[in-house]
Structure 1
Amino acid sequence: MLYLLASIACSVAVSVLLKIARRQQIPVEQAVAVNYIVAVVLTMLVLKPDLSNPAQFLPTWWLFAALGVLLPTVFVIMGRAVEAAGIVKSDAAQRLSLFLPVAASFIVFGETLQEGRLIGLALAFTALFCLLWKADSGKKSAAAPQQIGLLLGVWAGYGIIDILFKQLAQSGTAFAGNLLVAFCLAGILMFAYLSAKGCRWSKEGIIGGVLLGALNFLNIVTYISAHQAMQDNPTLVFAGMNIGVICAGTLVGAWAFKEKISGLNAAAICIALAAVACLFYWDTLRGLLA
């Protein structure tokens, strides 16, 4: 539980940093590229992966290869989706990707669907829809095919990354090495992308990247650690992470950035708390209500 709470805190901190970066016109793409260099250094210093036998990573080559490609690719897709469809729809697509890892919990990872989990998930998805609802979301507007494609890319990309992190957690002691290779590959691809765009580097982008790299590293490591600590209950991590991030992000946005919380959003936070209670403490609740 502590790993999950730490991961939620780091994820919200990353979102806050990216929001500040956009407001200050700091080149976010440069920060993301530098972030991978910092992540590589921290992985070497903190996790100390065993690189004495490179052959140990061969069975999981597809895992770090997929993460190395998807991490920067989904970021670029997310950026284009925000430009084409807006941040509200893009954020909704990212959060509703929860459906994919939850489905994988039962289909791929063999988790048993229990009564408390089923009720908790129903409440969780209700809370997510309510939290992502904005005052202008009821307005009808035709979505262009490009917007639909980008939003589907965000939805599928983040969902698959969540599943891959769960797979990475199952690689045992080799996860540090797999994570290192994934960060290296992601960094190479991101720098190649910026080079192809003719990027002109700035001091702000580099400094922002150092801060982003530290937070992102902590976010990913604590998220994987949460999966390892609750390896038989991936649904708890997937749902708990998404609910926690969007609830905490909503409250931080209201407090730090004076963003308005509607009555529906406030009710959604209460529903989310009920969902967490059902997901994590169903047996205790059932005993109290019996």
Structure 2
Amino acid sequence: MHFLVLAICCSVSVSVLFKLCKRFNVVTEQMIAFGYIMALSLSYFLLRPDFNGLSFTEFFIQSEAKPIFLTLGVLLPVGFMVMSKAIEYGGIVRTDAAQRLALFLQIIAAVVIFGETLTDLRIAGVAVAFLALFCLLFKPAGTVGNMVKAAFALGGVWLIWGTSGILYKKIALMGGAFPTSLFIAFSLAAILVFSYLIIKRTCWTVPSFVAGMLLGCLNFGNILFYIYAHQHFKENPTIVFACMDIGVICLGAVVGALFFKERISKINSAGIGFGILAIFLLYGEKLFA
């Protein structure tokens, strides 16, 4: 359970960092680029990916993991860029909603792809989790400057975050081979985003570099602990999918209220309560086993 707690803390910290970008004149794309350099360094020195005995053909062409790390290599930087656009066009609340409602995709994958059989207690937990999500994300209707761009950006966040969570589960199933695949995914992500910035002829800034180093540490921690959680609950991906999403949104609501003075309505408060109940239902079988 402690891996999930750490992953949740890292994920919320990433959101806080994105919220502070404009305040400190950080260029989002540069921050993402430098972040992957840090994440790449941490994965190399801490996870020690093993390339011994692997030829280019075996790993990059014949490897069954190739579709996973190639897809992640694209989704990782694109996901952050789409997220920044979603915040710009649709606002933080709607972006957070799109990201966390990716739970729907992950629950479907847990049953269809990973063959999990849901018990009555977990079915109840999933139902309560969805109720918690809707309560937590409830906000009075507002206007969006560009509805078309907002719809595409928010839809992209929903699809990318849902797909990434499923792919992390696939990586977790690789056991000891996951450090190598993760390192390759980070490498591809770094190449793509730096190529984009070089073509764009960006003007590099120090605040973006500093923020990028911090983002890289948090992003690496988020992914690493998330994968460890999936390895610990390898037979029950629903626990990780649901607890991660509910935990992030509950902690995010508290952080937003305490540090950013964001108002929590009575419905949002009820959502936090439902979220705690959902986590208890989903984790209860393991707790009392």
TM-score, normalising length: structure 1: 0.93
2:83–2:95: 8 Å Cα contact kept in structure 1? yes
Could you say which residue in structure 2 is the equivalent of 1:197? 200
State the SS of the aligned residue for 2:101: helix
Q: Which residue of structure 2 lines up, in the alignment, with residue 34 of structure 1?
A: 34
Once the two structures are overlaid, the 10-residue window that deviates more, 18-27 or 227-236, is: 18-27
1:188 aligns with 2:191: yes
Distance 2:42 2:287 in 1: 40
Match of 2:220 among 217, 222, 242: 217
What count of residue pairs does the alignment treat as equivalent?
Answer: 284
Q: Work out the CA distance in 2 between the residues paired with 1:141 and 1:193.
A: 28
Distance, in Å, in 1 between the alignment partners of 2:72 and 2:232 is: 21
Residue 64 of structure 1 is aligned with which of 61, 69, 72?
69
SS at match of 1:189: helix
Which residue of 271, 275, 279 corresponds with 2:282? 279
Q: Is the 8 A contact 2:125 2:281 kept in 1?
A: yes
CA distance in structure 2 between the partners assigned to 1:34 and 1:97 by the alignment = 27
How far residue 43 of structure 1 moved from its aligned partner, in angstroms, is 0.7
Alpha-carbon spacing, 1:284–1:186, altered in 2? closer, same or farther (3 Å): closer
Structural mapping, 1:113-262, within 5 Å: 113-134=118-139, 136-137=140-141, 139=142, 144-262=147-265
Partner of 2:204: helix, strand, or coil?
coil
Q: Structure 1: which amino acid aligns with 2:193?
A: M
Please show how residues 28-107 of structure 1 align to structure 2 within 5 Å: 28-54=28-54, 55-56=58-59, 58-107=63-112
Q: CA deviation at 1:187?
A: 0.5
Supply the AA of the counterpart residue of 1:162.
G
Structure 1 residue 86: Cα displacement: 2.2
Q: 1:142 to 1:56 in 2, by over 3 A?
A: closer
Q: Structure 1 residues 118 and 14, CA, compared in 2 at 3 Å: closer, same or farther?
A: same
Q: Which residue of 2 aligns with 1:269?
A: 272
1:160-217 Cα distance to aligned partner (Å, 9 max, x none): 0000000010111110000000000000111112222221100000011111111111
Work out the CA distance in 2 between the residues paired with 1:157 and 1:178: 19
Change beyond 3 A, Cα 1:42–1:268? same
* 2:9 paired residue number: 9
Aligned to 1:261, the other structure's residue is in SS state coil
| Structure 1 position 140, deviation (Å) | 7.5
- Distance in 2, matches of 1:206 and 1:70, equals 22
Q: Counterpart of 2:21 in 1: which secondary structure? A: helix
Taking the aligned partners of 1:284 and 1:218, their CA distance within structure 2 comes to 25
TM-score scaled by length of structure 2 = 0.93
Aligned residue for 1:122, secondary structure, equals: helix
Deviation of 1:21 after TM superposition, in Å, equals 2.1
- Three-state SS of the structure 1 residue aligned to 2:66 is helix
For the residue of structure 2 that corresponds to 1:53, the secondary structure is coil
Alpha-carbon deviations, 1:14-64, whole Å to 9, x = none?
222222223222112211100111111111110011111333562211110
**Equivalent residue of 1:86, what SS?**
helix
Q: 1:193 to 1:231 in 2, by over 3 A?
A: same
Residue ranges of structure 1 left out of the alignment (5+ in a row):
none
The percentage of counterpart residues that share the same residue type is 45
SS of match in other structure, 1:199:
coil
CA distance, structure 2, for counterparts of residue 202 and residue 176 of structure 1: 31
CA RMSD of aligned residues (A): 1.9
CA distance in 1, matches of 2:135, 2:199: 40
Question: What amino acid is aligned across from residue 109 of structure 1 in structure 2?
Answer: F
Cα separation, partners in 2 of 1:98 and 1:59, compared to 1, 3 Å = same
- Please list every run of at least 4 consecutive aligned residues from structure 1 whose deviation after the TM superposition is greater than 6 angstroms: 140-143
Q: Which amino acid aligns with 2:213?
A: V
